[in-house]
Amino acid sequence: MATIKVKQVRSAIGRTKSQKRTLEALGLKKLHQVVTHEDTPAILGMVAAVRHLVEVEK
């Protein structure tokens, strides 16, 4: 399966608790941190929930 790179580009300060938890579930703890994940529907759903805070590269 393909992989995607997810990079946090905006802060989680002032965001809802569920958005903060989604970032943590993706493994993002700091700004400009990049993590690699498999391109699964669950991961894509999490990325969609915080798409305003992250950048995605396929």
Q: pLDDT tens across 3-41, in order?
A: 999 999 999 999 999 999 999 999 999 999 999 999 999
Domain ranges in the chain? 3-57
CATH code, 3-57: 3.30.1390.20
pLDDT at residue 16, rounded to an integer? 98
**DSSP string covering 1-56, please?**
--EEEEEE-S--TT--HHHHHHHHHHT--STT-EEEEE--HHHHHHHHHTTTTEEE
> Averaged over 29-57, what is the pLDDT?
97
Average pLDDT on 35-48 reads 97
What pTM does this model have? 0.94
